[in-house]
Structure 1
Amino acid sequence: MPVRVLIVDDSGFFRHRITDLLAGDSRIEVVGSAQNGREGVEQAKKLKPDLITMDVEMPQMNGIEAVRVIMRECPTNILMLSSLTHEGAQVTLQALEAGALDYLSKDMRAWMEHSSSLEKQLRDKVVELGRSRHARQRSSFISSAGKSSGGTSMVFRPDSASRSPASSTATSRPARTPAPAARPSGQRTEPAGSRLQERSATPATGIAPRRPVSRKSIPADCKLVVIGSSTGGPAALQQILTQLPANFPHPILLVQHMPKTFTSVFASRLDQQCNIAVKEAEDGDRLMPGRALLAPGGHQMIIDPRNKDVIRIMPGDERLTYKPSVDVTYASAAKSYASKVLAIILTGMGADGCDGARLLRQQGATVWAQNKESCTIYGMPQAVVNAGLANEILDLTEFGPILSNKR
């Protein structure tokens, strides 16, 4: 059956343009449109679409408030359309907090041109998100977590009992204390029954034998954590990172598929929400325990081959689909830190991260993948799992407690 789509936008041009772009795909059926958020809520209840494309700025009820109402009253997968401005990034992240799954840039020039790239991107996102059952899963999480006083869902927010609440402005939080040095290799001991059996590599893959990995903790010799994500990643990263203590003993690299404006805003919001420090990576930044560096949109983030404590930010290569790319950062980590890397691959479309995970495993590193049930889109973790590269397959709710050593 085709994915049934409702288009909500106050611009007649965009309603017609989106309809035209989707009409030529047999996998998609446009079932209705609405001119404002209030009408969009009514149409969502009436038509019960698989996916809603939602504008942000609209009269009567804006897109963010419409997302909140829809997620509360008739949970539906939602794709936001947003401008590539600082303000557009802010409100888009608020929409993701409210329950939207993903976003697409609303660059007027690109939408007016007959861009095959835009058409493919829109259609692929609509189909993947429309077929996902994540809205229902997310609605259940909202119900169990409760609502904030302002009606915003807790999906993208830390629990108030253990972390400072998220907001679009800076909030108070406990002072960060310097992280302790990582334990020397071999200092931690684990009961034999808690480790996986070692597996021999097949000659065809050239992958080093799987090291014993505790199901309850980070590998004892870990020196660096690298996390890759795409569609659904902002909420997943927030859920994981807000559970880490300020004295988390390892540096963290984050690669989230986002444009430049969005990564700067996203890093700032995470920094407000987390006990660890989070910043958009800049060329020359140093790896530090208890700090996460987010790859800037439109660029690649690697580790300096001459100094493995320093990050280098490189221009985005047009030959690479993703800027930033999980594969690029994973490969760099494999070269600099070899077996002492814990790589985590989270929700996202496509297969970015699979080639990098293969290089990591060849060096004896550890790879954890998010499971299908908790992914918005299972593409990236699925590619790693299907290639036999995942040491562990974990639910999204498991990463935070394991990383923070909360057993």
Structure 2
Amino acid sequence: MTTTAEPLAYPFNDDEGLDLDPAYAKLRQTEGMIRVRLPFGEPAWLATRYEDARFVLGDRRFGREMAASKDEPRTYPARRPAGILGMDPPDHTRLRKLVATAFTVRRVEALRPRVAEITAELVEAMLAAGSPVDLVEEFALPLPVQVICELLGVPVEDRVRFRVWSDAALSTSSLTDDEQMRAHLELSEYMAGLVAQRTADPREDLMSALIAAREADTDRLTVEELVMLCNAVLIAGHETTATQIPNFVHVLLAAGRFTELGEHPERIPGAVEELLRFIPLGAGSAFPRYASEDVEVGGQLVRAGEPVLVAIGSANRDATRFPDAESLHFDRPQNSHMGFGHGAHHCLGAPLARMELQEALRALTSRMPGLRLAGEPEWKTAMLVRGPRTMPVTW
């Protein structure tokens, strides 16, 4: 299939709220793919169906490295350091394997008692303070920040600084190019200082383990690569989880299913998977994959050198893969959603995020069964991920 149509303006979703734009449902019924244009960069193909999305993310003929030499489609004006997200195998594999052992299901399960302890402490503090409280500031943000700080070996008292740096990394337009780059450099300098400290004085944490692995590896990482890895672990390790906790609560309350999980805690793991499928986290799609040769995707020929954006939120609502996709089913069988991506760049921290989200819902639904909104959330704007910046709740 070929097309000469003018590219559609993209992204489709609004920043405020968690709705999936109806345009995606229409596009999933359209043969092939369409061309879209983001505010900056070259036009791209848009994959909206599950099978097409999974194919593009998993096929080695599509990669990220070409973006560095192209005018990458993006929602922000200046080009940014992509870090490990801009790499392809074998370099991507070389870096990823060092972190992979820290996020196995077995290692993550060993952390569950500590995460449950942190969630209990945060809930008790909210109960003691009395309502209303901001669920984001008092629970959703400090939980993953404390977990990833303890895991990585970063002083938890610096978490306020992490929020500034993380917001800058995920901002699409709220910062100038200079402000965004300054935040990136500040985070990198901070991490470089910690790497130097842990090199001289190793501890029982992930950063020390990464340094030890670097020293033992015959294909050694540079200090810059190690800092880049730690930056990625810190930001990815808390931002998405901190955003999804209030997103989950918001959707559960709107659906009238929050108390159900308190009464039936055995449904929580299935609820987490279904909410990861159901909630379209981004306003649009980011990190396009470039074709290294001519490839056909869903009946559409993608020429070598052309980018494809993958609409994961749309793919996760594809009724050909998920029957009754517009409804929540906590017992959905074989829920192979792509909430954590797919392929070479599948989220390394998925087991940790799953466990944190499970324990967050377990603590909130068991100790605060009457939780409800105490006002309208203030939604993040001009960010790569959507969710409440503040969310007042009472009980």
Same-fold status (TM-score > 0.5): no
TM-score, normalised relative to structure 1 = 0.26
Which is richer in strand?
A: 1
Which is richer in helix?
A: 2
